[in-house]
Amino acid sequence: MALDSKIPNGPIADKWTNYKDHINLVNPANKRNLDIIVVGTGLAGGSAAATLAELGYNVKAFCFQDSPRRAHSIAAQGGINAAKNYKGDGDSVYRLFYDTVKGGDYRAREANVHRLAEVSANIIDQCVAQGVPLAREYGGLLDNRSFGGTLVSRTFYAQGQTGQQLLLGAYSAMNRQIGRGKIKMYNRHEMLDIVIVNGKARGIIARNLITGEIERHSAHAVVIGSGGYGNVFFLSTNAMGSNATAAWKIHKKGAFFANPCYTQIHPTCIPVSGDHQSKLTLMSESLRNDGRIWVPKKLEDAQAIREGKKKAIDLSEDERDYFLERRYPAFGNLVPRDVASRAAKERCDAGFGVNKTGEAVYLDFAAAIERYGKEAAHVKGLNENDKALVTKLGTDIVKSKYGNLFQMYLKIVDEDPYVTPMMIYPAVHYTMGGTWVDYNLMTTIPGCFSIGESNFSDHGANRLGASALMQGLADGYFVLPYTIGDYLAPDIKMGPISTDLPEFIEAEKAVVDQINKFINNNGKHSVDYFHKKLGKIMWNKVGMARNAKGLTEAIEEIAALREEFYKDVKVPGSANEFNQELEKATRVADFLELGELFAKDALHRNESCGGHFREEYQTEEGEALRDDDNFAYVAAWEYKGKPSDAVLHKEPLNYENIKLVQRSYK
């Protein structure tokens, strides 16, 4: 099957407008006769469900949490980008488009990214109208901050809880539609398969997680907004429930899976402390606006710190290596995530790490506290040389900007980051890969759409900070509502779709069979046992740096682990009740397949780009070495029974508006 990205013709700046001018519309009266299933109620799914219902469609929305408000988007900290140029610092739609394409190491689709930049400004207007309390300046206007990989201040935020506030906005919009009866909400329901009738997505099979009942739900189209698959690593910054099942199940029924190996490793996370850890916690990247990252210059000092004989504050300014400022003077601590992560790993691998395990660098706020404190003292006409006063004033300002993050750090690490610098290390955070979609956000299954982190399209090989939230809301509020209408226009006379069709019966049976197999398996090990093993293979061999040998081993090890899993997993309890182990088992089963495809994708991509760093392909200075002649394409995999048999399809990436150059932040 040939991939058709359906990118509209014409100049990039006009594509979306022209497209909207010419698509088929569904008459409002007919929308009432069309049902849409939305799986996921994060920023992407939540905004889509609300908007589709607002337009008049009958929406059924699903999430596995007990409330849509708890979707993983709630955890996003730092902010959301938009080309508003409120600061007058030179931002524009083009610049946001350019930064995103460059930040993604030229592996994103130009037309999609441009559309994203175009609608970004509307997102802020929409959210403010919905009562999202974004940060304001004293004059009452919205405030901005900057994020990694850009030189303008275009990030809107609500303290360190931006995702929470935006999600509550989308949730409130959903609530309005639930109240009107236009959305039927299925909390604590997990989609376990998609149903395809005559080649079109026509429904899903879901498990009611409270009763264990398997349900059939039909619709004229199915939208997947199920988030990312970072938990394939077991340890990640994702919520514990985040999983790949919905995306993987549609992959197995015909949706191509694109660029699975593009994973973002986020530079500012709380380091791993021991074996018992269940997840890693992100410290928002916005901290890099004010925090300076360093390690000791001398190996002896690093060693002394690790052994507890010295402290960070014992080292004078010139005994510290501010390695990002040293290597990348133009961007300094604000280089993109992939660059910052690799630089930290490089220093730690060279022996300069500062925690017990040697896998941490400092994120230091002392300079910011002093700078802000002096300014505040000056403004108030107080003594700028009073150190205690300056520290107090400065600390208050830092607290007002990042208070909840500092508190979170204190609770986890038991050290006060206002006094001693934070320790941070990169961790798995976000997956740029996902189901392949065309310009309409439709997968290779007609009628099955994929939005937000679960699709692949907008971020290329590396995502810049604050653009996932933007993409989720752009897809849900402003893009899908148009494209899905174009798809549904011919379906208006279709009438409701029966769930008694043989396709539903068959899909339900497959789900029930898998569940029964787990329940009756009586193996030796818990689900977590296998998940942790998978995570270790992924992190060690498919993690921040990869090479052909490790990847080849990983592929074999994952396949073997999968076999062991099916033989030996133990799932207590029964299928017809609330059973959290069973939920985990079905998710890990999918991770065990996805992990292998992930490694296979990384192995075939003989270049380094963004979050995909192949040790064999680097410049003399240790920077990623792209190969545009051979790899300027999207790798879209077609399922053929086993991950090892997956067939590669290539969507060439044509850069007509941006010239591909070596990415430099120096």
Ligand X SMILES: Cc1cc2nc3c(=O)[nH]c(=O)nc-3n(C[C@H](O)[C@H](O)[C@H](O)COP(=O)(O)OP(=O)(O)OC[C@H]3O[C@@H](n4cnc5c(N)ncnc54)[C@H](O)[C@@H]3O)c2cc1C
Q: Which residues are catalytic?
A: 337
Name the residue among 593, 529, 604 with its Cα closest to residue 562: 593
Calculate the alpha carbon distances from 547 to 395, 599, 612, 613, 616 in Å: 44, 10, 10, 8, 7
Left if phi > 0, otherwise alpha if psi is -120 to 50, otherwise beta: which for 159? left
572 lines the binding site for other proteins (CB under 8 A):
yes
Binder to other proteins among 310, 570, 628, 660 (CB under 8 A)? 570
Contact 225, 406 (CB under 8 A): no
Distance CA 535, CA 533 (A): 5
Nearer to other proteins, 353 or 481 (CB): 481
Q: CA-to-CA distance for 94 and 72, rounded, in angstroms?
A: 30
- Give which of ligand X, other proteins, none residue 662 binds (C-beta under 5 to 8 Å, depending on kind): none
- Could you say which of ligand X, other proteins, none residue 405 binds, taking C-beta under 5 to 8 angstroms by partner kind? none
Give, as ranges, the residues between 174 and 203 that touch ligand X (CB under 6 A): 190-191
d(CA 338, CA 465): 11
Q: What are phi and psi of 552, to 5 degrees?
A: -60, -45
Q: What does residue 630 show for φ and ψ, rounded to 5 degrees?
A: -110, -20
**And the tokens for 615?**
């040790």
Residue of the chain from 8, 13, 54, 297 that contacts other proteins (CB under 8 A):
54
CA dihedral sign, ordered 30, 35, 41, 45: negative
Question: Closer to other proteins at the Cβ: 180 or 549?
Answer: 180
Per-residue binder mask for ligand X (CB under 6 A), 150-179, x = binder = ------------xx----------------
By CB under 8 A, the residues from 129 to 148 that bind other proteins are 129-131, 133-142
Coil vs helix vs strand at 656? coil
Choose one: 239-247, 375-383, 502-510, 551-559; the region binding ligand X (CB under 6 A): 239-247
**214-246 b/e with 16+ CB inside 10 Å = b?**
bbbbbbbbbbbbbbbbbbbbbbbbbbebbbbbb
Among 10, 351, 496, 573, binds other proteins (CB under 8 A): 573
Q: Which of 144, 177, 242, 608 binds ligand X (CB under 6 A)?
A: 242
Using the rule CB under 6 A, which residue among 435, 467, 579, 608 binds ligand X? 467
> With binding defined as CB under 8 A, does residue 286 bind other proteins?
no
User: Could you give the residue ranges of the DSSP H alpha helices within 32-191?
Assistant: 43-55, 93-103, 110-129, 162-179
- C-alpha–C-alpha distance, residues 339 and 465, integer Å: 13
Query: Judged by CB, which is closer to other proteins: 27, or 211?
Result: 211
Out of 453, 491, 508, 590, the only residue in the binding site for ligand X (CB under 6 A) is 453
Query: Residue 245 interacts with ligand X (CB under 6 A)?
Result: yes
Residue 379 in the binding site for other proteins (CB under 8 A): no
Neighbours of 1 (CB within 10 A): 10
Please choose, out of 156-164, 332-340, 442-450, 628-636, the segment that lies near other proteins by the rule CB under 8 A: 156-164
Q: What residues between 258 and 317 interact with ligand X by CB under 6 A?
A: 282, 284
Number of residues in contact with other proteins under rule CB under 8 A: 81
Q: Which parts of 63-82 interact with other proteins (CB under 8 A)?
A: 65-70, 72, 74-75
* Residues whose CB is less than 8 angstroms from the CB of residue 659 and which lie 6 or more positions away in sequence, other chains included: none
Least Å distance, CB 408 to ligand X, is 10
Nearest-approach distance from CB 303 to ligand X, in angstroms: 32
Contact indicator for 170, 229 with CB cutoff of 8 Å:
no
Per CB under 8 A, 396 contacts other proteins: no
- Applying CB under 6 A, the span of 225-233, 375-383, 590-598, 607-615 interacting with ligand X comes to 225-233
Closer CB to ligand X, residue 347 or residue 584? 584
Residue at shortest CB range from ligand X: 42
Identify residues 444-503 at the interface with other proteins (CB under 8 A): 477-478
> Which residues from 52-71 bind ligand X, rule CB under 6 A?
62-65, 71
Q: Residue 411, SS3?
A: helix
Which of the listed partners (ligand X, other proteins, none) does 246 bind, with a CB threshold of 5 to 8 Å by partner kind?
A: ligand X
Q: Cα separation of 585 and 563, whole Å?
A: 14
Q: By CB under 6 A, what part of segment 410-429 binds ligand X?
A: 429
Question: Which of ligand X, other proteins, none does residue 411 bind to, with CB < 5 to 8 Å depending on kind?
Answer: other proteins
Q: Which residue has the tokens 């230091």?
A: 364
274 binds, among ligand X, other proteins, none (CB under 5 to 8 A by kind): other proteins
Query: Which class for 78: exposed (0-12), middle (13-18), buried (19 or more C-beta within 10 A)?
Result: buried
Q: How far apart are CA 111 and CA 19, in angstroms?
A: 12
Q: Please give the residue ranges that form the binding site for ligand X (CB under 6 A).
A: 39-45, 62-65, 71-73, 75-80, 162-163, 190-191, 225-228, 237-238, 242-243, 245-246, 282, 284, 429-430, 452-454, 466-469, 472
